[in-house]
Structure 1
Amino acid sequence: MNLTPSIREIADADIEAVIALWHAAGITRPWNDPQRDIVFARRDAHSTVLVAEIEGRIVASVMVGEDGHRGWVYYVAADPAMQGAGLGRAMMAAAEAWLVGRGVWKLQLLVRGDNDKVKRFYEHLGYTDTKSSCFQKVIAP
């Protein structure tokens, strides 16, 4: 079995498998519609969803985009049966390369305050806590 993932942009045929991966990895939230988020990320050249595939199966993902000033990542997920195999690191490297290819030099991401395991993962990759507060307001349904 070849365990080296092939990383590429999501295709229409991948959407169901990606959403299933997100649910299995526990990264979905009731207030975010994964289908809608995927459609929104694919609407133009400023964002996309990257997937890792091994032997025809989607095993990891990352949603990556840029806002004209910095890059952002969301939905970083790895198949729970394959966590610890380097898929998260590979997806973050792919997201970083996608952004660098567009001239973006700064990447930011959000981690829930109580998710110490994920904080350690990103710290291990060289990310630092900016000690910033994130505010939000839903302005449309």
Structure 2
Amino acid sequence: MNVSVSPSPLAIAHIADADVETVVALWQRCGLTRPWNDPHADIALARREANSTVLIGRDGHAIVASAMVGHDGHRGWIYYVAVDPDCRKRGYGRMIMAAAEDWLRQAGIAKLQLLVRRENKQAGAFYTSLGFEESTSVMFAKWLDGRDPTP
């Protein structure tokens, strides 16, 4: 599946093997990783099936943005939206989100969802500016490996 956005300084493509460590480092710099989620395993899982991928954005040779995108055949989900802290305020977040939305549209998915931690007001404002609305649904979670549900 091809990914394209309007011409810009950000070249967007699917992640390659050689990009994995750089993307994990980007996620860590952006504070997106958590001890209970192995980012390497998340990338491997997203790359394993046709219904998910990790998109990366390059400014020149440097990877400066990412988004993990996938769907269950009905709803699309986006995770790990990241823009290098040194490259913010250049529109890269909007560009990587537009590419993720395009990827889902090409897959025939009409609804997109994502999760934002309540304390991350900046991310919430960003997604609101892109037309996202806070859902009225309540999310429930359960750890299947017996760990404490309160991180």
- Corresponding residue to 1:106 among 96, 105, 111: 111
Gaps of 5+ in 2: 1-7, 147-151
Counting aligned pairs with the same residue, the percent is 53
1:15-43 deviation per Cα after TM superposition (whole angstroms, max 9, x unaligned): 00000000111111111110000001111
TM-score in terms of structure 2 length: 0.88
Q: Which amino acid aligns with 1:14?
A: D
Runs (4+) off by over 2 Å: 138-141
Cα distance in 2 for partners of 1:63, 1:82 equals: 19
- Corresponding residue to 1:131 among 133, 136, 139: 136
Aligned twin of 2:126: 121
Gaps of 5+ in 1: none
Q: Which amino acid aligns with 1:50?
A: L
2:9 touches 2:60 (CA, 8 Å); kept in 1?
no
Aligned twin of 1:61: 66
Deviation at 1:140, TM superposition (A): 5.0
Q: Which amino acid aligns with 2:137?
A: S
1:22-68 deviation per Cα after TM superposition (whole angstroms, max 9, x unaligned): 01111111111100000011111010000001221110000000011
| RMSD of Structure 2 on Structure 1 (CA) | 1.3
Aligned twin of 2:28: 23
TM-score in terms of structure 1 length: 0.94
Aligned residues: 139
Aligned twin of 2:3: none
Question: What's the secondary structure of 1:59's corresponding residue?
Answer: strand
Cα distance in 2 for partners of 1:68, 1:6 equals: 27
Aligned twin of 1:10: 15
